[in-house]
């Protein structure tokens, strides 16, 4: 049974109990992180914990744990689950109140801190050989998508719409621009240059995004952080999504439109290979 961690205690995940009065359950009043683990080592742990601190601050929730305690806790969680490759999930909610009041609790309450781990799935082989399919969906999310909040209804509805259209991921667009996937950062390659939307409150500051930008720099590939009008899909040579649990996923079709040559491209192959090298 996978071991989880809840408010200071390690226990089998099936035995973890949270009250229905928890504000994470009632309101989605919570933030989270997903951290890949390779060979027992959490990848870019400090960057994930720094982003968690930013999310907590943005929702005005005090950081009850602090970075060192999170580090120690997650390393022990990974060890108790047998090391190797894992996918760690952690969540902090504003805690369990006495009733259901939208505003913050009048008396300070303890946040609910939770972490669990599951096996890290390898990105499916057919997505690497043939590329993934994306489905365009209007971005209906709020204007603070830089906060990694558990309140994910628009993302879930977009992902489901993509699945029902026979696609692997939703490609969110808003005001005529391509934004990101429902759970992945977006990259577009044109004439050997990697383009990705600039960091703003419209997208999540992806950790994998940061790694891709660093690797591109090391490989001498130019990057432009710039808005991506919808029309650029037609001229794109390559399109990718990235996330902690999926690495870099080449996209070769967006609805009925073929991207580039319709095969995962050479720039993707170089950056993905460099990413794999840096995780091992
Ligand atoms: N999703 N954009 C969105 C909306 C995301 O939810 C995610 C991550 C990303 C990629 O961020 P990172 O490279 O830090 O994983 C971009 C996680 C994996 C999830 O919700 O499961």
Residue 266 scores a pLDDT above 90? yes
Return the closest-CA partner of residue 251 out of 159, 189, 173, 209.
Answer: 189
Ligand 1 in reach of 93 Cβ (< 6 A): no
CATH of 125-279, one of 3.90.1310.10, 3.40.50.300, 3.20.10.10, 3.40.50.880: 3.20.10.10
* % of the chain surpassing 90 pLDDT: 98
End-to-end CA distance of the chain: 26
CATH number of 3-119: 3.30.470.10
Domain ranges (residues) in the chain: 3-119, 125-279
d(CA 57, CA 236): 38
Whether 261 has a pLDDT exceeding 90, the answer reads yes
User: Does ligand 1 have an atom closer than 6 angstroms to the CB of 249?
Assistant: no
Per-residue pLDDT tens digits for 20-34: 999 999 999 999 999
Q: Write out the DSSP string of 124-172.
A: PHHHHHH-EEEEEEE----S-TTS-BS--HHHHHHHHHHHHTT-SEEEE
1 falls in which pLDDT band (50, 70, 90)? confident
Q: Is the CB of 260 under 6 A from ligand 1?
A: no
pLDDT in tens, 126-155: 999 999 999 999 999 999 999 999 999 999
Nearest Cα residue to atom 20 of ligand 1? 183
Residues forming the active site: 148
* Percent above pLDDT 70 for the chain: 100
Q: Are 251 and 259 in contact (CB under 8 A)?
A: yes
Q: What is the 3-state secondary structure (H, E, C) of 50-91?
A: HHHHHHHHHCCCCCCCCHHHHHHHHHHHHHHCCCCCEEEEEE
Task: Provide the 10 A C-beta neighbour count for residue 166.
Answer: 10
pLDDT greater than 90 at residue 123: no
Nearest Cα to Cα of residue 269 among 254, 244, 241, 248: 248
């Amino acid at each position: 049974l996978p071991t989880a961690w809840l408010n200071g205690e390690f226990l089998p995940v099936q035995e973890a109990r949270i009250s229905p009065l928890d504000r994470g359950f009632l309101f989605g009043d919570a933030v989270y992180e997903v951290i890949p683990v390779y060979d027992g080592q959490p990848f870019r742990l400090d960057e994930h914990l720094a982003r968690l601190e930013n999310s907590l601050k943005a929702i005005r929730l005090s950081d009850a744990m602090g970075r060192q305690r999170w580090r120690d806790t997650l390393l022990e969680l990974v060890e108790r689950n047998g090391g190797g490759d894992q996918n760690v999930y952690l969540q902090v909610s504003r805690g369990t109140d006495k009733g259901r009041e939208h505003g913050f609790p009048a008396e300070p309450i303890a946040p609910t801190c939770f972490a669990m781990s599951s096996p890290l799935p390898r990105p499916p082989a057919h997505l690497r050989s043939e590329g993934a399919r994306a489905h365009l969906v209007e971005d209906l999310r709020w204007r603070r998508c830089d906060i990694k909040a558990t309140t994910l209804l628009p993302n879930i509805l977009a992902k489901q719409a993509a699945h029902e259209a026979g696609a692997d991921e939703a490609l969110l667009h808003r005001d005529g621009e391509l934004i990101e996937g429902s759970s992945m950062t977006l990259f577009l390659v044109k004439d050997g240059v990697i383009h990705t939307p600039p960091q703003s409150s419209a997208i999540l500051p992806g950790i994998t995004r940061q790694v891709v930008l660093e690797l591109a720099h090391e490989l001498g590939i130019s990057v432009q952080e710039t808005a991506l009008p919808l029309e650029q899909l037609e001229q794109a040579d390559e399109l990718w999504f990235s996330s902690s649990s999926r690495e870099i996923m080449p996209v070769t079709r967006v609805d009925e439109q073929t991207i580039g040559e319709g095969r995962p491209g050479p720039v993707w192959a170089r950056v993905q290979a460099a990413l794999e090298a840096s995780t091992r």
